[in-house]
């Protein structure tokens, strides 16, 4: 139940609504009980019981006092108005009491709605914010579809399984308590049987509930696999069709879907067992009460009208007990989703601001990699990617990183904005370790243009101005002109307000890349990280993008990763990496004259 307490802890911001819910529930239960108590005078009136011998007694929480006074008032009404008038008054009293009972019940649910939906809203926000905070290394180990499932299906499951039962959790325990006290006051002997038999019912229901939680956890995991397959299919539809892999994809999806369906059938069958099982067990208890209560009435040890009231009151325990049992099943099912969500919320985030981290607003002198080593954590241990890297990048200089795939180029670039933290050594900006700089402050100094253009399903304007506030249209247009993007933007249907589709798929690769460059230009950062920004483009697009990049790099400090060596010949220094180590460094001409690793790479590309 720890996870439920965590979820309900979000309700502390809605304490006012919770108080109003409890307040109205109390009155609903009280009027429900009083309306049932009208059975006693009604039965006595119908069976013509003599009520003239009763006198008014001071109020006490006692069944005898309540019955005595009800008889007294009934006798007064009969004396003054006759039995028919008394019957009419009793009927009107029942109507008013039931109206008040249901009015307060509705008001309780009315004030519960903001709690239920507000807690889920806060939970969604918390998960989304956590996803934004987690380091990139976390997502390399998780399925994207499974994360989407946790943020959508699992949250939805909590809404239906846990939050929808809040009315039961808040109301029914109080209802059961009040009604049980009433039963004890009326007949301790009969209530003893109830107290013995009801826990047995709860034990049986609890055993099935634990099994339901286990199956629900498996169901949520398989649902995550389903969403992963769907996400991968939508992303790779072109490849699936190109390799005629439709049958393979259908078979894979169908198998997981069948497994999910079979498991959900078992889950729903167990969950649906709760209501009939609890009702049957309650009926067994009711029959026992009727038998022993009937004996007391036949032996004149209990008044018949009181016994009828007792049975009516006990019958009102069955619906909340049944609701409570169903709620228990639903909560067990929702607990599986809660566990999966908490795995995200409790995930470690090693890349955070240091306690005394400072903000910096400008880049003054140099960037330094001092004895930097880094390893990715894998199931087989640590795999070294960078080994004892030492590099100084002076302000205004362009440094290029080259090498074979897997040599550590992108990893080295990821150290600078702290997408990953070094294992040994340190990265310094103006002699300040970047771990001692606030993350937002650090990343504001940098602009990124990657091989894959990261664009959003929004307008051209909003994609260029992404992450920035109060941006003027002429500033966006100027950035687009520098990036050689203004021309094709103006040819679009709505210009800068044209929606570019999911991931910018309405645009060509060169157009998407120029929008990414325009975004970096608008940000106007002093430090640029260009990760193979032209490697996926055709010759004409590459020329336009390369021209935009040259404009972008003017008067900026740039760290450039490139496979096409022809694009980085102008670099102030070229760093050649091999298996995580710097094996060569110098200008293009100097490295050509060395006739070693760089020369071989260059000759291979020249030959191609």
- Separation of alpha carbons 283 and 277, rounded Å: 10
365-445+525-608 topology per CATH: Rossmann fold (3.40.50)
Q: How do the domains of the chain map onto residue ranges?
A: 2-345, 365-445+525-608, 452-524
- Dihedral sign (CA 15, 18, 20, 22): negative
Q: What is the pLDDT of residues 475-498, one digit of tens each?
A: 889 888 888 888 889 988 889 999
- Dihedral sign (CA 347, 348, 352, 354): positive
Residue 155 above 70 pLDDT?
A: yes
The two beta strands, 366-378 and 381-394, are: antiparallel
Query: What tokens were used for 74?
Result: 């009934």
- Dihedral sign (CA 247, 248, 252, 253): negative
The reported pLDDT for the residue numbered 369 is: 93
Q: Which CATH number fits domain 2-345: 2.60.40.1220, 3.90.1010.10, 2.130.10.10, 1.20.1560.10?
A: 1.20.1560.10
The reported pLDDT for the residue numbered 382 is: 64
Q: From its phi and psi, is residue 412 left (phi > 0), alpha (psi between -120 and 50) or beta?
A: alpha
The total of other beta-carbon atoms located within 10 Å of residue 447's CB is: 23
More confident residue, 207 or 500: 500
Residue 539 above 90 pLDDT?
A: no
Q: What is the pLDDT of residues 239-262, one digit of tens each?
A: 676 667 778 788 888 888 888 888
Find the mean pLDDT for residues 379-390.
77
Q: Residue 145 — very low, low, confident or very high, per pLDDT cuts 50/70/90?
A: confident
Q: Residue 606 — very low, low, confident or very high, per pLDDT cuts 50/70/90?
A: low
Question: Which one of 279-288, 409-418, 596-605 scores highest in mean pLDDT?
Answer: 409-418
CA angle 550, 551, 553 (to 5 degrees): 65
DSSP string of 308-372, one letter each residue? HHHHHHHHTTHHHHHHHHHHHHHHHHHHHHHHHHHHHHT--------TT-B------SEEEEEEE
Residue the block writes with tokens 């002109």: 481
DSSP-derived 3-state class of residue 373: strand
Residue the block writes with tokens 């072109």: 238
Q: What is the pLDDT of residues 297-333, one digit of tens each?
A: 777 777 776 777 777 777 777 667 666 666 666 676 6
Reported pTM: 0.69
Q: From its phi and psi, is residue 607 left (phi > 0), alpha (psi between -120 and 50) or beta?
A: alpha
The reported pLDDT for the residue numbered 390 is: 92
Query: What tokens were used for 420?
Result: 């990953």
CATH number of 452-524: 3.40.50.300
The reported pLDDT for the residue numbered 370 is: 92
Q: What is the dihedral of CA 194, 199, 204, 207, to 10 degrees?
A: 160
Q: What is the pLDDT of residues 342-373, one digit of tens each?
A: 888 888 887 888 888 888 888 888 999 999 99
Alpha-carbon Rg for the chain, nearest whole angstrom, is 37
Find the mean pLDDT for residues 268-281.
70
Average pLDDT, the chain: 78
> Do the domains spanning 365-445+525-608 and 452-524 agree at the CATH topology level?
yes
Backbone angles phi, psi at 479, to 5 degrees: -65, -40
More confident residue, 535 or 599: 599
């Amino acid at each position: 139940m720890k996870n439920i307490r965590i979820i309900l802890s979000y309700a502390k911001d809605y304490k006012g609504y919770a108080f109003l819910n409890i307040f109205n529930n109390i009155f609903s239960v009280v009027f429900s009980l009083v309306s049932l108590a009208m059975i006693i005078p009604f039965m006595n009136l119908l069976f013509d019981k003599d009520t003239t011998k009763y006198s008014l007694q001071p109020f006490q929480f006692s069944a005898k006092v309540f019955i005595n006074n009800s008889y007294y008032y009934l006798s007064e009404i009969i004396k003054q108005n006759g039995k028919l008038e008394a019957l009419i008054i009793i009927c009107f009293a029942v109507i008013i009491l039931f109206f008040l009972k249901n009015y307060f019940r509705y008001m309780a649910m009315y004030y519960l709605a903001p709690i239920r939906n507000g807690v889920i809203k806060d939970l969604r926000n918390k998960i989304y914010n956590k996803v934004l905070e987690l380091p990139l290394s976390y997502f390399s180990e998780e399925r994207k579809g499974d994360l989407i499932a946790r943020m959508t299906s699992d949250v939805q499951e909590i809404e239906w399984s846990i939050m929808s039962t809040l009315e039961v959790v808040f109301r029914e325990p109080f209802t059961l308590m009040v009604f049980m006290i009433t039963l004890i006051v009326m007949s301790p002997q009969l209530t003893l049987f109830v107290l013995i038999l009801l826990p047995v019912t709860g034990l049986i229901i609890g055993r099935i509930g634990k099994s339901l939680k286990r199956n629900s956890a498996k169901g949520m995991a398989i649902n995550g696999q389903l969403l992963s397959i769907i996400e991968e299919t939508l992303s790779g539809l072109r490849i699936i069709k190109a390799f005629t892999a439709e049958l393979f994809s259908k078979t894979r999806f169908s198998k997981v879907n069948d497994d999910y369906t079979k498991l959900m059938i078992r889950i729903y069958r167990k969950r649906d067992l709760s209501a009939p099982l609890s009702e049957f067990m309650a009926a067994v208890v009711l029959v026992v009460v009727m038998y022993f209560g009937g004996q007391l009435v036949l032996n004149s040890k209990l008044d018949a009208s009181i016994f009828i009231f007792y049975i009516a009151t006990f019958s009102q325990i069955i619906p909340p007990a049944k609701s409570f049992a169903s709620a228990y099943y639903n909560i067990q099912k929702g607990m599986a989703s809660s566990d999966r969500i908490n795995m995200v919320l409790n995930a470690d985030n090693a890349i955070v601001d240091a306690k005394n981290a400072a903000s910096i607003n400008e880049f003054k002198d140099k960037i330094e990699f001092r004895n930097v080593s880094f390893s990715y954590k894998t199931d087989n241990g640590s795999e070294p990617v960078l080994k004892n890297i030492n590099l100084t990048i002076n302000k205004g200089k362009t440094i290029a990183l080259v090498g074979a795939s897997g040599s550590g180029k992108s990893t080295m670039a990821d150290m600078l904005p702290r997408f990953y933290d070094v294992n040994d050594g340190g990265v310094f900006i103006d002699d300040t370790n970047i771990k001692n700089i606030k993350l937002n402050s650090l990343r504001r100094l940098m602009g990124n243009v990657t091989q894959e253009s990261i664009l959003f399903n929004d307008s051209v304007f909003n994609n260029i101005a992404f992450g920035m506030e109060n941006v003027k249209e002429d500033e966006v247009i100027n950035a687009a002109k520098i990036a050689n993007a203004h021309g094709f933007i103006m040819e679009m249907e709505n210009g800068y307000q044209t929606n570019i589709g999911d991931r910018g798929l309405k645009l060509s690769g060169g157009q998407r890349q120029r929008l990414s460059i325009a975004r970096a230009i608008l940000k106007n950062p002093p430090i640029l990280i260009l990760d193979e920004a032209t490697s996926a483009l055709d010759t004409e697009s590459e020329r336009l993008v390369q021209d935009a990049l040259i404009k972008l790099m003017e008067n900026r400090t740039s760290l450039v990763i490139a496979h096409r060596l022809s694009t980085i010949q102008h670099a102030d220094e070229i760093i050649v990496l091999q298996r995580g180590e710097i094996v060569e460094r110098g200008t293009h001409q100097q490295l050509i004259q060395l006739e070693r690793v760089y020369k071989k790479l260059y000759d291979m590309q020249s030959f191609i």
